[in-house]
Amino acid sequence: MSRIGALFLLLTLQQVATATSTLFPPSNASTAAAARLACHQLETTLSSSIVQTNGTEYESAATDAWNLQNTVFRPTCIVFPRVAGHVQVAMKAIFDAGSHYAVQAGGHSAMQGWNTVQDGVLIVFSEMKIASYDPVRDSITLEPGIRWVDAIAAVEAFGVAPAGGRLGDIGTGLLLGGGLSYLAASQGYSADTFMEVDVVLVNGELVTATATNKYSDLFRALKGGGNRFGIVTRYELQAIHTGTEEDSEWFGGLILYNSSAEAILNATARYTREVNDPKAALLISMSIQIIDGVGSPVYLATPFYNGPALPEDIFGEFLSIPAMVSQLGPLSYSGVAETLGLGDQRGLTQHFGASALLGDDSLFLDAFNHWTNFTTTYQDNFNSTTLAFTPITELQIQAGRNKGGNIINAPHGGFAAVQIYQTFNPGVVDIPANVQDGINLLFKQIPPSPGLPLYLNECDEEQEVFKSYGDYELMREIYVKYDPTKYNVNHMRGPLGLE
């Protein structure tokens, strides 16, 4: 697993295609016909370099998704837009034809079918990857195809960074799910840094949404609404002043443990309920690496502080636990963002699930015990499993509200976003039914604390994350306003709850 340096055995794409050619049944005749109609219209309207039905670029895009499950779909055509106008043309043709469709930015989703489509139109943003800094507006503008490693590098010389992801390979889709970053305690969710967004609606209309214009409701809904409200073609974000590469204004790194799980969990729970320092950040990953059927625990802490050292009163418990490896020191913000690597290894089926817990020692330990039992029961199926905790502090929640709020509308008080993550053995594309039953049981055994929102980017599709949002009913109203025929939910896979 990329977060802690595990080595993966990768299948070739040819082997994958052969092994999984019968996974997805053919679409019905009307679905396939609608996709052909849309693609024919697009081939007539746009150039052959923008709309492709086969060839090297088509094959590369169709099979490049991070989750193996999303590499076996065959879009009827793939659109590679260069400008927002191409997306408008594509969406209008899709809408008029009644075709299924999907959008791929970084391709890093673990949800099956959320960034690709079988017998439909796939829009891939690999040709729109520009990042720029405007010192007058003190903002960073991103095209949707850029990944965080490149976005950070593009503007670092100006001493600024976007509030993006914690793995370099992740794309801008993270923003639409809310987004968790190392800057969250001071900035809120990553989406809370939106200044403007250009978005193509389902009918092909391009609008610019801000917090104060007539699309302010859409602007709010895009902060956590995922792929349901339109296709974003430009993000303008607040620039966060993080320093240049030479400044090294941060301190931290990673600590690896192979024991002391309860002490780590207790320290994490305390951090979650007590720490409210805008300069502090923490991610905890409790993982079990499985080699030849034998599971080995590897627990990872990544503490960071925007200052010369890790304060003892915040991180002292983690520093006092015996560690296998401790790599801590001064860092630039790009160094912080690179600590966990790119996370770009492909070739395995990835599956996410989400929970959210108040900072109670017993809740964290109970979740860990259920996850450990689950892993032991099904470990023959896995390459690795992970139970990760991201503290979401009261400061983060308040920072988002100070910037106008988001559709997630988390309640006051700190909590931890909990990720439940499995990486399957090489060659596995379909999750076995008995394993999925075990995963579903695990979700019931680790329920979210009452009133807490789940994190969309790390959920299972069936968890209906939207219903956990504080502004769910408002979200439903906004969705119907901008998509009155519910075209999106009927023609694109994504989060449930707006049907």
Tokens 């075709």: give the residue.
99
pLDDT at position 29 = 85
Tokens 């030849």: give the residue.
292
Structure tokens at 78: 């793939």
Instruction: Render the burial of 228-241: b for 16+ CB within 10 Å, e for the rest.
Output: bbbbbbbbbbbbbe
CATH class of 131-243+472-491: alpha beta
Contact 131, 141 (CB under 8 A): yes
The 10s digit of each residue's pLDDT in 288-329 is 999 988 999 999 999 999 999 999 999 999 999 999 999 999
Task: Provide CB contacts within 8 A for 152, sequence distance 6+.
Answer: 161, 162, 164, 168, 333, 334, 337
pLDDT at position 293 = 84
pLDDT at position 14 = 30
Q: DSSP H helical segments within 78-155, as ranges?
A: 84-97, 148-155
DSSP string for residues in 150-163: HHHHHHGGGTEE--
The 10s digit of each residue's pLDDT in 55-72 is 999 999 999 999 999 999
Report the distance separating Cα 209 and Cα 449, nearest Å: 33
Separation in Å, CA 117 to CA 39, 257, 307, 338, 434: 13, 41, 46, 31, 26
Query: How far, rounded to the nearest angstrom, does the alpha carbon of residue 358 sit from its chain's CA centroid?
Result: 22
pLDDT at position 20 = 32
Nearest residue to 388 via CA among 271, 304, 262, 286: 286
Tokens 């997805």: give the residue.
24
* Angle of CA points 499, 465, 191, to nearest 5°: 105
Task: Give the torsion sign (CA, 355, 361, 363, 369).
Answer: positive
Task: State which residues of the chain have pLDDT below 70.
Answer: 1-27
pLDDT at position 317 = 98
147: DSSP letter: B
Report the distance separating Cα 499 and Cα 490, nearest Å: 8
Beta bridge partners of 262: none
Query: Helix, strand or coil for residue 185?
Result: helix
Separation in Å, CA 45 to CA 42, 83, 89: 5, 14, 8
What is the number of other CB atoms lying within 10 angstroms of the CB of residue 322?
10
Structure tokens at 164: 């993006």
Query: Helix, strand or coil for residue 292?
Result: coil
Report the distance separating Cα 327 and Cα 406, nearest Å: 36
Contact 168, 341 (CB under 8 A): yes
Task: Give the torsion sign (CA, 318, 324, 330, 336).
Answer: negative
Nearest residue to 319 via CA among 251, 382, 379: 251
For domain 27-124, give the CATH number.
3.30.43.10
Structure tokens at 183: 């800057």
Contact 213, 184 (CB under 8 A): no
Q: For the domain with range 250-468, which CATH number is right: 3.30.310.10, 3.40.462.20, 1.10.1240.10, 3.40.640.10?
A: 3.40.462.20
Contact 139, 239 (CB under 8 A): yes
Task: Give the torsion sign (CA, 301, 307, 309, 312).
Answer: negative
Contact 378, 290 (CB under 8 A): no
Q: In three state form, how does the secondary structure of 186-233 look?
A: HHCCHHHHEEEEEEECCCCCEEEECCCCCCHHHHHHCCCCCCCCCEEE
**Domain coordinates of the chain in residue numbers?**
27-124, 131-243+472-491, 250-468
Beta bridge partners of 252: 304, 329
